[in-house]
Amino acid sequence: MHDPVQISVPGKIILSGEYAVLDGAVAIVLSTDQRLKVCITTTDSDHHTYTTSMIKGHFPFLHDHDANIHWLASDPGIFGTLVQYAFRALTLTPEEKLCIEIDSSEFFTSNNENKSTKLGIGSSAAASVGLIKALSGYLKLPLPSEILLEKSHLVHQMFQDNLGSGIDVLCSFADQGVIECTKDSINDFSWTQLIWPEGLYIKILTTGEDAVTHHLIDNYYETQKKFTKECNLALQELLRITSKLSTAWTSQSINAILDLLIAYDVQLKKIDQLGSIGIYTTIHKNLQRIAEEFNVFYKPSGAGGGDIGLALSSSPESLNDFLDEIDRLNWNISCLPSKDDY
């Protein structure tokens, strides 16, 4: 019997590079204070057991010789899919019976009706990383970090039908605060840890709207096909801007970072408007309009379409005034808790 293993991994906040990273752009990503936990122990039962914070109950299961899971009672549905993919990715057929617990409660919020809504900080990517790290650690699989990252990405790709860049998986895996990476960083096992610029302030806002990431990515690809020339022109600008952003972060130039984020926002809006992708929802547009009145830059983060947005400024007073105005408007917008004073 092995000692219990508990793994804790962060979520992700995409600061820049969303969508364009799919075409080779550099992305800058921030790991969250919110963390997903995976705990694995051995049970004396004659079957494995899975529990998740997302739904009530215990879900017993067995596996076959091909590492396929068979649920013995009720099926947890999509909440058990990642466990199945993790078993397949690691080709697991353990003799001991495992008790697998996933706590992703910090990645979701509840409204007044007690309905759970995802924050949009990469819960499935974090769960993929957490499961691979926890299972390999508990069973003492002799896998190097490069393979663990590759397996984590594989699990998430299966879950997302091969959509996405993988930078959310990388951010959860690296757990290094701010990192710079590309879609090739997983295969190359290479990324750069950055330092948050002193004097740049950020607040992460939750919109309460649940975005469907794969629909937005599908819309993005369809827009590229339909408006090839226009999208290519905008994409060339996005690639140029992300390259300059990389230099600005390295030199810790706050004004340059903010100016380039604004320029990136302009180009991404062009693509969004061409195909009505849905990146900039009404709430994002309204927040951006109010932010401009207080000399604060606001943008959707990641795929957009709801979920979270970022408010950045070189002035903490301006940022606080913007937040006070949002509170006054009573839009049910809240800030994601953070212990770090960026």
Confidence band for 109, pLDDT divided at 50, 70 and 90: confident
What are 18-45's pLDDT values in tens digits?
999 999 999 999 999 999 999 999 999 9
State whether 35 and 137 are in the same domain.
Answer: yes
Provide mean pLDDT across the span 187-199: 96
**Overall domain count for the chain:** 2
Position 96 pLDDT exceeds 60: yes
312-299-159 Cα angle (round to 5): 120
What are 149-161's pLDDT values in tens digits?
999 999 999 999 9
Confidence band for 2, pLDDT divided at 50, 70 and 90: confident
Evaluate whether residue 95 is within a structural domain.
yes
pLDDT of 342 reads 52
CATH number of the domain that residue 269 is part of = 3.30.70.890
Evaluate whether residue 242 is within a structural domain.
yes
CA atoms within 13 A on the CB side of 106: 19
pLDDT of 3 reads 86
Beta strands 98-103; 48-52: pairing state: parallel
What single DSSP character describes residue 197? P
State whether 175 and 208 are in the same domain.
Answer: no
Nearest in space to 199 (alpha carbons), one of 39, 331, 312: 312
Beta strands 55-63; 69-71: pairing state: antiparallel
Taking all residues of the chain, what is their mean pLDDT, rounded to a whole number? 94
Position 114 pLDDT exceeds 70: no
- Which CA distances in Å does 4 have to 9, 44, 101, 189? 17, 14, 11, 28
With H, G, I as helix, E, B as strand and everything else as coil, classify residue 54: coil
Beta-carbon neighbour count of residue 192 at 10 Å?
Answer: 15
User: Amino acid letter at 227?
Assistant: F
Evaluate whether residue 57 is within a structural domain.
yes
Evaluate whether residue 120 is within a structural domain.
yes
Residue in this structure with the two tokens 């806002």, named with its chain if needed: 205
What are 284-330's pLDDT values in tens digits?
999 999 999 999 999 999 999 988 999 999 999 999 999 999 999 99
What are 249-272's pLDDT values in tens digits?
999 999 999 999 999 999 999 999
In the chain, which residue ranges form alpha helices assigned H by DSSP? 78-90, 123-138, 145-159, 167-174, 185-188, 213-226, 228-251, 254-275, 282-293, 316-329
Dist CA 141 CA 341 (whole Å): 38
State whether 177 and 240 are in the same domain.
Answer: no
pLDDT of 312 reads 98
CATH number of the domain that residue 93 is part of = 3.30.230.10
Q: Chain-centre distance of CA 173, in angstroms?
A: 11
- Which CA distances in Å does 120 have to 63, 188, 208, 213, 302? 31, 26, 10, 9, 8
State whether 282 and 327 are in the same domain.
Answer: yes
Residue in this structure with the two tokens 């509170």, named with its chain if needed: 327
Provide mean pLDDT across the span 274-278: 95
Confidence band for 59, pLDDT divided at 50, 70 and 90: very high
pLDDT of 113 reads 57
Look up the domain containing 327 and give its range: 201-335
Confidence band for 112, pLDDT divided at 50, 70 and 90: low
Share of the chain above pLDDT 70, in %: 97
Evaluate whether residue 342 is within a structural domain.
no
Evaluate whether residue 158 is within a structural domain.
yes
